[in-house]
Structure 1
Amino acid sequence: MGLNETPSANRVHIGFFGKRNAGKSSIVNAVTGQDLAVVSDVKGTTTDPVYKAMELLPLGPVVIIDTPGIDDEGTLGELRVKKSRQVLNKTDIAVLVIDAACGKSEDDEKLIELFNKKEIKYVVVYNKADLNEQEETENDNEIYVSAKTGYNIDKLKEKIASLAATDDITHKIVGDLINPSDFVVLVVPIDKAAPKGRLILPQQQTIRDILESDAVAIVVKENELKNTLNSLGKKPKLVITDSQAFKMVAADTPEDINLTSFSILFARYKGNLEIAVKGAKTLDSLNDGDTVLISEGCTHHRQCDDIGTVKLPRWINNYTKKQLNFELHRVRNFRRI
């Protein structure tokens, strides 16, 4: 898989934040060497978060996010500020852009508090240094630059890269659960919901992780699992199944073989497993009339038996035996209920 094909979920997400006219969009363009963001002297030119997947040296594959000003005003302005704050939930590295002539504001300090609260690594960038003679800051996470002249832009990129380099790059989907030469059986249903001619991305990523761990990946359909296990001649270390086939696969998998699903592995990989477990336990406490929020992270075209809009509500209703209400949202349009 090339750099241009790297999934967005596997790229370092770099969010650019700051007040209106601090020069966020100008800094984005200077750092990337491209005209990714619209630049204007008019306050509030950036009205929605702008996402761009690209390769940024010396980091490699990244997602650049340009955000609206955190000091926007009015009813629409409040919505834009809210969207900017929501971007923090998918930000790995934050770049706080401040007008060097104005210095840090109360809004900037509140953002820094949020960075620290969410444990987001960040760098404070004092832009427009060409208009003000400033001494170099002694703080490692601060830097004076000029988007207009290019002053210190390369050093800024190095600072961003150094923050990314400290991330744990050994985090695995499944590689830390298996050993070299282990057999891992992946159960992949091929039905009308499956894409034609290829496996879906989580399946591809899991196979790649198994191979990088020097283990053996064996891919079968759900109706071939029992025969495959009987004919292997060696007990697999792990069976991984698509969630929709879990019941059938569990019945065919001996109890002395570890069993999990792609969904569980990726919840663990993304750090959401503990929350997901708590959510599953909550099903036992639901009552008639309660509301369940289903927030989808993918952007696939919904089909007649879609997992988010059809299968999950059906499974939950069958399990709880309750009359429940369901609210469906895409992640970027997520709201609390």
Structure 2
Amino acid sequence: MAELHSIRARHEFRGLRTVEHFFTVPLDHGPVEAWAGHNGREAIPGEESITVFAREYTSTEHSAEDAARLPWLLYLQGGPGGRGNRVTSLSGWMKAAAKDFRILMLDQRGTGLSTPIEFQSLARRGDAERQAEYLAHFRADSIVADAEMIRRILGAEPWTVLGQSFGGFCALTYLSFAPEGLREVLITGGLAPLQGPAERVYRATFRRVAARNAEYFAWYPEDRGRITRIMRHLADQPEHLASGERLTPERFQMVGSFLGGNTRVDALHYLLEDAFIETATGPRLSEAFLEQVRSLVSRAGNPLYAVLHESIYAQGEATKWAAWRVLEEYPEFEPSADEPLLTG
């Protein structure tokens, strides 16, 4: 049997101490009864296993011996598909938490160093049906099963969990399936719906994003015409990102992700102001603009987000591309609208 836990590196810098943990866990933990409570199982020889990585952070204000006696705080990152944060110094909530906790920053399965999923590795699973079967093991229930197994391997008492965004969804799953592993749960911006279909979530989202577009255009009225011009240009003129992919009007609409935060919204205006450049064949989108857009609309860094995001709103049924179907109820988001809105 593969070693269940190994430590491969320790580092100390800028008041920060890190330990790199690698755990071997089953790909399929089985039904909840197989791993929750006191019946948690370990990997079985011959079955498929994966690696889950977590980085431990402590403050050098504690000696190594004192830090090892601190209780654990498990951080569950947003996503799905986002790896744990890589930090170079303690600040914000981590600085405050490190006074009283050892922080375990988890790369949820399929992300970061935890048997990552990308198109190259997923293709090895076979056809689309087999790929879907494999991806079914990377949802919140499996993430929580990993966490409980890791807690037992570490010999930890019930621990504190901090869930950010999708990490909050995972924390609710933890509370539902294995509350005995929890001392307390903190949730930031990640309170999942407990009933109702995914369509309800997307109807609320489209309404909120439409209102956010209106706020933005009230602040920067000149950008209303700029966005419409870019959308019309992309419908008529092929423009390609550095990756070789064509930038479609629908994909450009994803720059509306800037509308999701008050500290970022003004950056959208600066992005749009130098979108076009004059060329020998007429106005084209500038390389500088296209490169900035590429970084905003690419899912190369977290492909699981694109594949699994909608499913986190499901309540025991297939969502059947709910966001796409609900879009038909909001024609103002269609690229062909007179003044199309951004999505994000």
Q: TM-score range by the shorter chain?
A: under 0.3
Bigger relative contact order (CA 8 A; separation at least 6): 2
Asked which structure has the greater CA Rg, the reply is 1
TM-score (norm 2): 0.24
